Amino acid sequence: MKQNQLFKQTRWQLVTWYTGILGLILALCGLGVYEAVAHAHRITIEQELQSVARTLHDSLETVLREPGKLEPEAIRLLPDACLTEGCLRNTDSHEIEAIAHNKYYLRLFQKSGNLVAVAGLQPEGLPRIRGERQLVTLADAQGTRYRQISLMLHTRDNRDWGYLQVGRNLQDFDRYVANVKWILLLGLPVVAVLVMAAGWGLAGRAMQPIYQSYRQMQQFTADAAHELRTPLAAMRATVESMLMLPRISEVDVRETLQVIDRQNQRLTHLVADLLILCRIDRQLNQNLDSFIEEEEIVLNDLVNDIGEELAVLALDSGIELSFEILVTQPLKVKGNTEQLYCLLFNLASNGIQYTPAGGKVTLILKEEKDRALIQVKDTGIGIPPEEQETIFDRFYRVDQARSRHRGGSGLGLAIARAIARAHHGSISVQSQVGQGSTFAIRLPKASSSG
């Protein structure tokens, strides 16, 4: 397959499509995973931010008395707060430990927007956003991102005090999400290469049977052309040699016509065999049953007919042709009479052809559970064990010269096997060189068979 340009090209095309489509699906899945991971992380951070801000807000509201003023109780709640007057070192505050963890900043504004105090991180160049319960994402001068929430603050007697802003550094989140993104981005080409390798292997496996049948077809065409060429060449040579003679006698003409007639018969026989094979092939490749003109065939009659048909040939060849019908009732199978006749004829005539004068050919009809068994037994030349499977191949002959000389096309057994298969049956051979051969055809019995 590797040498065949067409198959190689098709294999590459399959692999490219396969990798492309699977790569796209994987990329979409990767994007989905990325979004899901980032979303889950974002939600967690937001919940944490809201909980920190809400705790701080509730604690402050219990101690604030005057709008816009920070009383010492309130300052104590803020870790390391910086007021307008300066920064305080406040180690007492355990309220919001997270602020001490360098992740949060908080800012307190008067209602008018004046900054009263800051605590925790002190990002530079962070824009000021006013408003209540506003969740926004901001970036400082270095580009570090923060998620910020603003909450309105009230004094203990429910007067507006100002508002509180709590922000969380998103550096760890951004780093985590970037890592996930890189893993997915770098993983995708690796996966694509693996998919490509797997696709190459799978495409090769899937194309193997197609390639085999393509090879068989090529072989068949070459063999058929070769078989057709032989009689055509013989005819041409005969005609050319006749034309070269200065004078042609009636005897020469007669001889030439006889040669042409013989070769013509060979060609006709070969073409007829090829047509039968093509028809059965088509039948086998499509819906079997719909193609076979189904009828009930009584095998007892079929065997008798073959016997009658081949009696003269057997007599001429000095062969004793006999039958053994070992069934008491008519044995019926379903199928095509013409095809089954052709199958038995091929086997029986082969038996006669490949048995020396004085030998025997016997047609035996038996029954086996739900199958009919027809055996064609001869006492002929036999078939070597290593050839017993290949003789069913198209144009295969054990002895090329001998078979051709007898007018054999090398298609008889290939046709027999195709017919047996088209009838859901099988064909097999047992043979010993010099002793003889037994061909056995097994066909499913018709349900009405006795």
Query: Which of the residues 348 through 377 are near ligand ADP (CB under 6 A)?
Result: 350-351, 354
CA angle 395, 398, 402 (to 5 degrees): 90
Is 231 a binder of ligand ADP (CB under 6 A)? no
The strand ranges marked E within 170-242 are: none
Task: Choose, by CB under 6 A, the member of 149, 378, 418, 423 that binds ligand ADP.
Answer: 378
* For ligand ADP, the closer CB: 336 or 437: 437
Amino acid present at 125: G
When binding is defined by CB under 6 A, the residue of 96, 413, 420, 446 that contacts ligand ADP is: 413
CA–CA distance, 323 with 61 (Å, rounded to integer): 116
Q: At its nearest, how many Å lie between ligand ADP and the CB of residue 409?
A: 5
Q: To the nearest whole angstrom, how small is the minimum distance from the Cβ of residue 263 to ligand ADP?
A: 16
Closer CB to ligand ADP, 344 or 446, in the complex? 344
Non-local (6+) Cβ contacts of 219 within 8 A are: 394
Pairing mode, strands 332-335 and 295-298: antiparallel
The radius of gyration of the chain's CA atoms, rounded to the nearest angstrom, is: 47
Using the rule CB under 6 A, which residue among 102, 171, 399, 450 binds ligand ADP? 399
> Can you tell me whether residue 182 is helix, strand or coil?
helix
The residue (of 102 and 432) whose beta carbon lies closer to ligand ADP is 432
CB neighbours of 314 closer than 8 A, spacing ≥ 6? 320, 321, 352, 361
Kindly tell me which residue out of 412, 423, 440, 449 binds ligand ADP, with binding defined by CB under 6 A.
412
Rounded to 5 degrees, what are φ and ψ at 234?
Answer: -60, -45
Q: Considering only residues 302, 372, 391, 446, which one is a binding residue for ligand ADP as defined by CB under 6 A?
A: 391
Which residue, 50 or 438, is less far from ligand ADP as judged by CB?
438
Region 420-439 residues binding ligand ADP, contact defined as CB under 6 A: 437
Could you say whether residue 398 binds ligand ADP (CB under 6 A)?
Answer: yes
Cα 240 from Cα 242, distance rounded (Å): 5
Query: CB–CB of 287/424 below 8 Å?
Result: no
At residue 256, what is the residue type?
T
d(C-alpha 13, C-alpha 200), whole Å? 10
CB of 199 to ligand ADP, least distance (A): 41
Among 238, 256, 375, 403, binds ligand ADP (CB under 6 A): 403
**Contact between 408 and ligand ADP per CB under 6 A:** yes
Q: Tell whether residue 409 is a contact of ligand ADP (CB under 6 A).
A: yes
- How many CB atoms within 10 Å of residue 373? 19
Residues found near ligand ADP in the complex (CB under 6 A): 346, 350-351, 354, 378, 380-383, 391, 396-399, 403, 408-414, 437
